[in-house]
Structure 1
Amino acid sequence: MLVKDAAARLYESSTVSLKNSNNCIAKEASERLVGPAITECAPLHVLVVDDDQQMRTACCHVLAQKGAHVSEAGTLAEGEMLLQNQKVDLLLLDLKLPDGGGLALLEKAKVLYPDTAVVVMTAYATVSSAVEAMRIGARDYLTKPFALEELTAVLKSAGQRVHFDRESRLLREKLRSQTNTDGLVGRSSEMQKLYRILSKVAFSTHPVLILGESGTGKEVVARSIHFNGPNVAKPFVQVDCSSPFPIWIESELFGHVRGAFPGADCAKEGLLASVSGGTVFLDEIGALPLDLQSRLLRALQEKEVRPMGGTQARPISARVLAATNRNLAAMVEQGKFRKDLFFRLNVVNLKMPALRERRDDIPLLVVHFMAKAEKEAGVERTVSDEALRALVKYDWPGNVRELENAIERAWVLSNGLTLNLDDLPISLQDLEVPLREELTIEPAVETIAQPDYKSSSSNSGHIVPIAEMEKQAILGTIRMLNGDKILAAKLLGIGKTTLYRKLKEYGVSDEFEGPILSVS
């Protein structure tokens, strides 16, 4: 079914009971056109500018059905007048208008409303026009003729981005004046569960075992337990159990007498005995040597400690908190960690969620780290929407610590009052590369005559041109996926616009399910 045909029927009947050649209801396609994201937050204000009245009416009808506030214009002048009088969240713009080029309207829209999402469509596609549209600020570029599925995906993505940008700005404004406590930031369900447990264990004296990947904030949780408890005025000390010098760890925990080992020129009291009523935080307890695990277990059971080389035991009343990024249960099975010590420390178990498991908290953490940097530098800055999207999209193998380092890096490299995508680490910038690269892919040759799809460089004696290999890869992938071009584009790592342009160049688009559709 052609999009133009659907537009004509919508225009004549003002209904969505259209059917395509396969007898599918057009309403289903219209629901996919924008998707549920457009009604998840406040309604979008959408402006459709196209000189084709039937196409314009169809788009307006579908968008209005999904809850958007829609305006329409058929000329450049009408579009400019509407932009002057109202805020626009999403602009669906035809580049070829009767009274001028759409790029002028795109530029004016980005000046008036920098956050407006723009989807450009044109039947006269060139690489230069695509690059110029993206440079000015268009987020998507559709080449006519295009498939209904492609328009569906583009508009849905644009709507989701607009809502994300809107919510992130509101969040930044709301949190800028707020302060957090104890360095714990987050409102996700995982963090809410953690807060409930912390409120209970802070006033107990039982050992707590904090588990989680590196960088998730295990030390922050340990400090929160101590400084929210009744012994907040007592010391909080940390011991790194991953130190390569076991004798240092033993001395720190249990103390030593003079002459206990070479270099022990004076006696030292261990932290377990000296931190009376305070907290001893054993960081990376999974790295503690087995012999020291035995001594620690004995100290916790007997509530007393004897220094290295000494004979007199000292009572201990310190609370012990331990943390590790290792799987202690598996280490117990392997004989690398004492089972009795594991049970002794595992009275209360806290599991720190990885940052990728609580992406909703990333904007809050960004605001927190930005406020911290602003306080130190005395300069107020913000984060661009594009950069914030990349921050939320990234998986953060280093978790919260990596996020903080990324913000610090961007702060140092930024030359303005806004941290942009280019200021972030390369690993985050790469998330946007496919969108940029699809504008620069050009065929190696302009025409290809009757390729032999069964031949390959491995069983023939002649060289296969790169353009020919590219064509075979594209056509073979689409066939393998039973004509699903959208999924094929994802698997091939190219943009949907690029895929449809390639198929048009090959002149074989009608071979597959869902032929390229015309909108003009």
Structure 2
Amino acid sequence: MLATVFDTKTMEFLSQAGEPAVPLHLLVVDSDPAVRSACAEIASSLGYVVESTGDLSNARSMLRGHAADILLANLPYNSTSGLELISEVKLLYPQTAVIAMTASGSVNAAVEAMRCGASDYLTKPFAMDELSTVLDRAASAQLTDNATRQLREQLRLSQGLGAMIGRSGEMEKLYRILSKVAQSSHPVLILGESGTGKELVARTIHAYGLNAQKPFLPVDCGSIVPTLIESELFGYVKGAFTGANRSKDGLLVSAEGGTVFLDEIGELSLDLQAKLLRALQEREVRPVGATHRVPIKARIVAATNRNLAEMVEKGQFRKDLFYRLNVVNLKLPSLRDRREDIPLLAAHFLDRISREHGRKFTLSDEALRTMMRYDWPGNVRELEHAVERACTMSSGPILHLGDLPTQLQNHGLESRRATTAGDDANESAGPQLMTLADMEKQAILSAIRTLNGDKLQAARLLGIGKTTLYRKLKEYGIADPLNDE
């Protein structure tokens, strides 16, 4: 039976194959019963939950009843039915990975399948390890995407972590890393400029980690004097110093298996660095003034906006402590490196402020355009403060350039002068006047393009309902806002 599908590399591969970490649902669609049976047998042995059918209409019904994680579909020679199925699946179930099977020599069919949304293809007859490799590729991508989607949905639903927002490539990479890091207990070093959200990332790692129910204990190493940091981290006994009227456990002990977040770790003195290193290596601390040691069990997440590697070279930070903390390294992107997230973040802050004040606030086109062009040296924190300031200063529901902080106003005025100078240079072309309808159309198009086609967010930024937005698009005859000129 297997010889009709596979070449001479046969069943001995089955006994060596491992199973995916999470069982995935595979649907095999092929009119040849032998092919269906062979593929189902191999996939089942690899740990997949498998269903199969030879009828396209039946395949559609099965997908409606339970959307498959992976679809393995045959493309009949000189037929468009298989391509139509792939297109439908990617439209209705975009999370389903599609693998196309084609007859030998029908490379064009495989190319068309990829254009319709297939992520991979197999040419018959194929070896057993070929099928395993292709399924493994699809499964790895599927499990990673599922973990990313799950984390992002948790972040979206969590009131405390909702500010972790972004659809840029930089943020997508961060979500993928976080979904893995959160499930380990290794130390993590978070690097990034001030205002990029290092503590938020640390809280996310803890909240979706293995000991989320245990304490999350932050300490700012840059704002506490060294003697107090030592007692904060390691604790002290009664009478250790003036004012120590009772013994107190340090944060490394109080965490009880939770997370201790060492913010601005680069500000620790070399003496404290040595004591912290010893505590992490020996998994125990000696409280200030004590002669005994206390065992600790805490995950360490550290953060800094300084270049620790450079500090190590200059002798300002211990190399051994750096390597101890740098097991997992997360580099947070600056806001200027993910400008496409600015409208999403602004909309999030506006929604929160609107709920708090009981008033609806929206950004004018010029204000949003200025925010998109500004470099944000203070990153997300500066953006949040700018939106809060604009809402406070605004006399109406629409936030204009004049409501923004001075540095943004100056940036906007400079951009306006540059634009005016460019217009003056082209005076020979005559004045370019726009009707109100044209201005409204351009504002709508600008908002949708800025938000990569997200009409709901665009409507929120424009201060109109989603129904109104769709009606306006229809009035202006805009079928595809991303490509309409």
Interval of TM-score (by shorter of Structure 1 and Structure 2): 0.5 to 0.7
> 2:421 is matched with which residue?
495
**Alpha carbon RMSD of aligned pairs, Å?**
2.1
TM-superposed deviation, 1:517: 7.5
1:412 equivalent among 392, 397, 403: 392
> 1:316 is matched with which residue?
296
Whole-Å separation in 1 of the counterparts to 2:305 and 2:316: 15
Within a 5 Å distance, the mapping from 1:14-413 to structure 2 comes to 182=161, 183-413=163-393
Whole-Å separation in 2 of the counterparts to 1:500 and 1:220: 48
Whole-Å separation in 1 of the counterparts to 2:338 and 2:203: 21
TM-superposed deviation, 1:267: 1.3
CA separation of 1:308 and 1:434: change in aligned 2, threshold 3 A: closer
> 1:487 is matched with which residue?
none
Whole-Å separation in 1 of the counterparts to 2:371 and 2:158: 21
Whole-Å separation in 2 of the counterparts to 1:368 and 1:180: 13
Structure 2 spans left out of the alignment, 5+ residues: 1-155, 432-485
CA separation of 1:285 and 1:434: change in aligned 2, threshold 3 A: closer
Whole-Å separation in 2 of the counterparts to 1:233 and 1:378: 34
TM-superposed deviation, 1:254: 0.1
Whole-Å separation in 1 of the counterparts to 2:387 and 2:378: 13
One-letter code aligned to 1:243:
S
CA separation of 1:436 and 1:321: change in aligned 2, threshold 3 A: closer
Contact 1:211 1:351 in 2 (8 A): yes
Contact 2:189 2:302 in 1 (8 A): yes
- Identity over aligned residues, as a percent? 61
Whole-Å separation in 1 of the counterparts to 2:211 and 2:304: 24
Whole-Å separation in 2 of the counterparts to 1:179 and 1:429: 34
One-letter code aligned to 1:192:
E
Whole-Å separation in 2 of the counterparts to 1:494 and 1:416: 27
Corresponding residue SS for 2:229: helix
Q: How many corresponding residue pairs? A: 275
TM-superposed deviation, 1:244: 4.5
TM-superposition CA deviations, 1:125-170 (whole Å, max 9, x none): xxxxxxxxxxxxxxxxxxxxxxxxxxxxxxxxxxxxxxxxxxxxxx
Contact 1:252 1:271 in 2 (8 A): yes
CA separation of 1:517 and 1:218: change in aligned 2, threshold 3 A: closer
Please give the TM-score of this superposition, normalised by the length of structure 1: 0.51
Whole-Å separation in 1 of the counterparts to 2:394 and 2:420: 30
Corresponding residue SS for 2:376: coil
CA separation of 1:180 and 1:418: change in aligned 2, threshold 3 A: farther
CA separation of 1:238 and 1:192: change in aligned 2, threshold 3 A: same
Contact 1:434 1:494 in 2 (8 A): no
Structure 1 spans left out of the alignment, 5+ residues: 1-177, 438-489, 502-515
TM-superposed deviation, 1:432: 2.9
One-letter code aligned to 1:343:
Y
Whole-Å separation in 1 of the counterparts to 2:430 and 2:395: 46
Whole-Å separation in 2 of the counterparts to 1:234 and 1:403: 32
Contact 1:254 1:270 in 2 (8 A): yes
> 1:131 is matched with which residue?
none
One-letter code aligned to 2:424:
T
Contact 2:188 2:326 in 1 (8 A): yes
TM-superposed deviation, 1:319: 0.6
Whole-Å separation in 1 of the counterparts to 2:359 and 2:214: 36
CA separation of 1:317 and 1:387: change in aligned 2, threshold 3 A: same
Instruction: Work out which structure has the larger RCO, using CA pairs closer than 8 Å and 6 or more positions apart in sequence.
Output: 1
Contact 2:390 2:404 in 1 (8 A): yes
One-letter code aligned to 1:401:
R
Corresponding residue SS for 1:495: helix
Contact 1:243 1:249 in 2 (8 A): no
Whole-Å separation in 1 of the counterparts to 2:420 and 2:361: 35
TM-superposed deviation, 1:348: 0.1
Within a 5 Å distance, the mapping from 1:466-505 to structure 2 comes to 495-499=421-425
